[in-house]
A and B are shown apart, each in its own frame.
Chain A
Amino acid sequence: MGAPIAQATASGNNVVAVYPDRVELRSGWKGQNVESLSIRDVSEVRISGLVNCILAIESNTGRIYRLERMALPDARAIKNAVERQKQTAGLYE
């Protein structure tokens, strides 16, 4: 499984981690809810805000995962990691 390429904490026990092939979103009191999104299925990652950032990960099906109150460097690390993995996998033209 290996260590994630990038990971960050958002508000409400939400944790996002980027692995070489997927983005994993963990939530719940004990991190019991794990949702995995293939890198191929991520259509866009957006950041808004400067101090308490919102990281929005949009899937190809139109679903948007909003992670709130993140630090800007953490949000950027997630966005860059996803985009780099998509680039490496040849998913961008």
Chain B
Amino acid sequence: MRRLSLLLTTSLLFVGALPALALAQEGAPTTEDLSLAMDTMWVLVAAVLVLFMQAGFAMLEVGFSRMKNVGSVVAKILVNLAIAALLFWAVGFALAFGTGNAIVGTQGWFLAVPEGAVDDVYAGLAWTQVPLSAKFLFQVAFCAVSLAIVWGTMLERTKFAVYVVFAVVFAGIIYPMVGHWIWGGGWLTELGMQDFAGSTVVHLSGAMAALAGTLLLGPRLGKYDDAGRPVTIPGHNMPLAVLGVLILWIGWYGFNPGSTMAVVPEIADIALTTTLAAASGVLGAMLMSFAFRRHIDVGMGGNGAIAALVAITAACAFVAPWASVVIGFMAGVIMYATLIFVDRLGVDDPLGAIAAHGMGGIWGTLSTGLFTAPELAAVGQPGLFYGGGLYQLGIQALGIVACGGFVFLSSLLVFAVLKATIGIRVKPDQELDGLDIHEHGVYGYPDLVATDYQNGGARMPDPVIDGRTAEGTA
């Protein structure tokens, strides 16, 4: 019996000691190894959160669309994500973060890098030590968000081919150029422009491209009445739109805190400023809505949250919590005023993307020049309200004009070429029947639309018969 227990004890000790022996042979992980593993995990989680924002955009756009167009919205989201991923992998990432000159990166195509030369090839991201694949995944998610913003204004009347062609140019060239200027070691990096997670790079870029496209596209049929006054065309599902806003809000916790690309205590502070700003933005927009229209507009509340999140994106790491409340509240107010103004100008923006992402981006970028605290100014100078003078504010304004102007003009050129060659707008019958049946051959809600027609509505269009013209298939 004693011999048996001795044998068992020896065996247990041996088994227990095996892992320690193995680790001793291979070398125990150092603190640096564990830190790198945690950073990598954090960046991947953040990248997934930012990618999840595509679901937010899908729900937001579906909610604000009419029932007959929801299929085209989700199809567009899918194809744009796919194009953004491939184009950014092939050329975009190299143009944005590759080592190059002040205007553009010139190395690192297709993520092909010699062993051990990652920091030399991608100098723009050499400040973070996570693996190259993690850096790429995080940045490509940003590119896809910027591209998704473009189409919010162009819903319900744009040809599917336009989404595809413009996505190639935007994800392959336009967005990476702006990214290089501010984040990739370009000329605005050198000047010390503050744009922590992309109020300008991501959101203003998307909004400026959207404005260019919308100006050439024109408003939806029936958006303006015979006196030229804007008419509200309500979306078909407000709960879905609000779900989209909430998904975007959650995704922003990858967007802003994730931009540290490292597990540092500051990510909690960034999450705090992000939350306070978004909450203030909702209230700001709802108060404006009540002040002007005497009712609480749910869509405006959602857009207020988005505008505030966009605004705090540039400043989230540089400002105190009280400042984030001011930034968020003002973003909600500015968004509402811009939305009304843009609507009256004759620019049909079904989602309010120009107001939320465009003006939100401009206000957010400028706000860092006002509110950046000296102890948090890791990049650039403290803000005007902390005695930093006008220097930082001037740099921020210069960045807005340069990046916004470049994206607007280059996008205008692309859309103009598309309009002059293949056309950017669907035919009027297709717009009236809905893009789902004409562009995709199915309805987003087939049962509901069929019922509507059976109950005495117009004749249900046939994708084959109605899609055919004398010149061939429309």
Contacts and interface: CB of A to CB of B under 8 A. Distances in A.
Interface-central residue, A9, A15, A77, by most chain B CB under 10 Å: A9
A73 B427 contact: no
B221 A3 contact: no
Contact of A13 (B221, B422, B427): B221
Contacts of A3: 429, 465-466, 468-469
Interface string B150-164: 000000000000000
Interface string B424-451: 1101110100000000000000000000
A12 B420 contact: no
Contacts of A6: 469-471
A7 interface: yes
Interface string A4-43: 1111110111010100000000101111000000000000
A69 B218 contact: yes
Given A3-B466, A28-B226, A29-B225, A72 B419 contact: yes
Contacts of B224: 12-13, 29
Given A5-B470, A29-B225, A29-B226, A71 B420 contact: yes
A89 interface: no
Interface string A59-88: 000000000010111100100010000000
Contact of B420 (A13, A50, A81): A50
Contacts of B427: 7-9
A52 interface: yes
Contact of B423 (A11, A28, A30, A74): A74
Nearest to A16: B428
B31 interface: no
A8 B159 CA distance: 13
A11 B420 contact: no
A7 B470 CA distance: 11
B30 interface: no
Contact of A9 (B419, B421, B422, B425): B425
Contacts of A28: 226
Given A5-B470, A6-B470, A77-B471, A15 B221 contact: yes
Contacts of A15: 221, 428
Contacts of A5: 469-471
Interface-central residue, A13, A17, A52, by most chain B CB under 10 Å: A13
Contacts of B470: 5-6, 81
A77 B427 CA distance: 11
B419 A29 contact: no
A53 to B, nearest CB: 8
A51 B225 contact: no
A13 B300 CA distance: 26
Interface in B445-474: 465-466, 468-471
B409 interface: no
A73 B423 contact: yes
B394 interface: no
A9 B419 CA distance: 13
A9 B226 contact: no
A47 B356 CA distance: 38
Contacts of A4: 429, 469
A73 B421 contact: yes
A13 B427 CA distance: 13
B79 interface: no
Given A71-B419, A72-B419, A73-B423, A8 B469 contact: no
Contacts of B471: 5-6, 77, 81
Nearest to B468: A3
Contact of B222 (A11, A17, A30): A30
B429 A7 contact: yes
B465 A71 contact: no
Contacts of A17: 428
A51 B470 CA distance: 25
A72 B420 contact: yes
A12 B216 CA distance: 13
Contacts of A50: 420
Contacts of B428: 7-9, 15, 17, 26
Given A3-B429, A51-B416, 13 more contacts: A5-B469, A5-B470, A11-B218, A15-B428, A31-B221, A51-B216, A51-B419, A52-B419, A72-B419, A72-B420, A72-B423, A73-B420, A73-B422
24 contacts: A3-B429, A3-B469, A8-B427, A8-B428, A9-B218, A9-B221, A9-B427, A9-B431, A12-B224, A13-B221, A13-B224, A29-B222, A29-B225, A29-B226, A30-B222, A50-B420, A51-B216, A51-B420, A52-B216, A71-B423, A71-B424, A72-B420, A74-B425, A77-B471
